[in-house]
Structure 1
Amino acid sequence: MAAAAAVAAAAKPAAGCQGTIYLTFDTGSQAQAELIADTLNRHQIKATFFLANEKTVRGDYSLDPSWSAYWKARVAEGHAIGSHTFDHGVLVKDGADGKVVLKPGFGEHAGKQVSLSSTQYCQEIRRVDQRFVELTGKHLDPIWRAPAGRTSPRLLAMGQACGYAHVGWSPAGFSGDELASAAYPNDVLLKKSLRDLRGGDIVLIHMGIWSRKDPWAPANLEPLISGLEKKDLCFATLREHPDYLARFKK
């Protein structure tokens, strides 16, 4: 009964809010990492980050020791942080013998298809936690996001068996920051987000996309937050989301 009451309470927006928006940030090129942190701090917003070991504009990787101070700061600020799998392996299909076939974006098998068992996929999720402990002294939150959002019932069951709840994003929460800027300019994407986002939505944003010529975050993150605040929408981490609250209370 107490857990049910807590979930019900979390579903209600805070006093003075017309609803709660859940900003989430996936690692990428990390070109916008400092801007994102500065913007969230300026607005006193807590968000959720999903980490993979991705190549960055610095020439290193996002879970290298050179990023330790950055991630320690996000922990100290109270953000939620989950796994995006270590090598950012995108699901290709369910494979034989209960396995899944993935194409990692990084690591020794980058660009090649690999077949993983449930135990092996769990290791891919947990490798991020292991590295995060090395970098920050803290464990990840028990949540993960499949690279590219590609899932199957089998893949989701693997994550669940590993102790992690999967988090996607709301249809209106797709920022479009990974689309070509010529076809999807920032002002069009911003207008769409401000028009369509509602309380309860989970928003997907990347910390830098290599392929987008006109990057999304420098132009859109500040006005998106300010525009949503003007609509009396508030922000929280996924720790407060009613679908995941029970997971964090364990």
Structure 2
Amino acid sequence: MKKSKDMTKEIIGSGCSFSQSDNKDKIRTIKRWAVLGGFFFILNICFIVVICWNHRIQGSEDTVVMVQGPENEVENAKLDETQGNSQENKKNKKDKNDRHSESDNRKKVYLTFDDGPSKNTEKILDILKRHKVSATFFVVGKEDDFSLSMYKRIVDEGHTLAMHSYSHDYSVIYKSKKAFFEDYRKIKKLLYETTGVKPVYYRFPGGTSNTISKVSMKSLAQGLIKRGSVYFDWNAMSGDASGKNLTKKQMINNVLKDVEIHNTSVVLMHDAADKDKTAQMLPELLRKLKKSDVSILAIDEDTPLVQHVKVENRQN
């Protein structure tokens, strides 16, 4: 019996010993995992801190890029201007299309003025502005400040700036084909450099039906087409360059008489320095044209061609 008790104590003692040993092992294991977990926790924290710091630096760099300095202001201004011009061009195109659509069932009248700019050009522009009418100016080459300002004003106020030779000297420009196109290049360059708009439309001094040119007018007309230009003559006129001392009433009646017989009228008038009477009669002419319910337009790509001498288009 005593032996049994001793064995029981021994077993219990061994069990306690084993239990204490196991607990120590478990504690050591827990400590190891706790240390390892802590290490990974700290590593993750460091990783997160690094990412946040990099993000902050990147954010700062992005902010610096977005700061609008002088150069960026210029670039943004150019972009805004380009976008604005694009929107304005779309608007102008829509307005032009609407205008032509509205006038489909009405007579079309294209008022054109040759030989400017001069002081009369300024007067005529004032009149057109008051009456809200667009016209076409076939100008010659002048490089004084006033003339340059007139070229710009014609464009700025929505009129068509067109070419009528640089020199307007028949003996020079019609001497040879080479002479003609040297003059053509000169007026085209002047108008483009002054206004930033490339002129397209051309009117030959004296028209394509003139009998002064030593060169075939068909040859010159074909040369213009090959160079991307379009030429216009006329089928109505005021008579302000006829050499006759017409009254303002006679000039107005001349225009109205011609407009009456054409569905599309390209009216020849002049704004040279000695054509004061043209500027003086213009307000009354505009009132009468509007009263007759015609559409008054500036020449553009939709204008039917009015040409005394026609040539085949071989531009392509």
Residue of structure 2 in register with 1:57 after alignment: none
CA distance in 2, matches of 1:131, 1:242: 27
CA 1:41/1:188 → structure 2, altered by over 3 Å: closer, same or farther? same
- Contact conserved, 1:13 with 1:20, CA < 8 A, in 2? no
Deviates more, 1:123-132 or 1:154-163: 154-163
Task: Say which of 52, 60, 74 aligns to 2:140.
Answer: 52
> What count of residue pairs does the alignment treat as equivalent?
202
- Contact conserved, 1:83 with 1:126, CA < 8 A, in 2? no
Describe the superposition over 1:82-104 as per-residue Cα deviations: whole angstroms up to 9, x where unpaired: 211111133xxxxxxxxxxxx14
Shift, 1:121, TM fit: 2.2
Residue 273 of structure 2 is aligned to residue 193 of structure 1? no
Shift, 1:208, TM fit: 2.4
Large movers: runs of 4+ above 4 Å: 9-13
Q: TM-score, normalised by structure 2?
A: 0.57
- Considering fraction of residues, name the structure with more strand: 1
Residue of structure 1 in register with 2:272 after alignment: 208
Residue type of the alignment partner of 1:203: V
SS of residue paired to 2:162: strand
Give the superposed CA RMSD: 2.9
- Contact conserved, 2:203 with 2:231, CA < 8 A, in 1? yes
Structure with greater Cα Rg: 2
The correspondence of residues 1-250 of structure 1 with structure 2, limited to 5 A, is 14-15=102-103, 18-28=106-116, 30-53=118-141, 62-90=142-170, 103-104=171-172, 115-117=175-177, 119-140=178-199, 142-149=200-207, 150=210, 152-170=217-235, 173-182=236-245, 184-198=246-260, 199-208=263-272, 210=274, 215-239=276-300, 240-243=302-305
SS of residue paired to 1:23: strand
| Structure 1 residues not aligned, in runs of 5+ | 1-8, 54-61, 91-102, 105-112
Shift, 1:12, TM fit: 6.4
Residue type of the alignment partner of 2:266: I
CA distance in 2, matches of 1:36, 1:229: 17
| Structure 2 residues not aligned, in runs of 5+ | 1-96, 212-216, 307-312
Q: TM-score, normalised by structure 1?
A: 0.70
CA distance in 2, matches of 1:116, 1:15: 42
Identity within the alignment, %: 24
Higher RCO (C-alpha under 8 Å, 6+ residues apart): 1
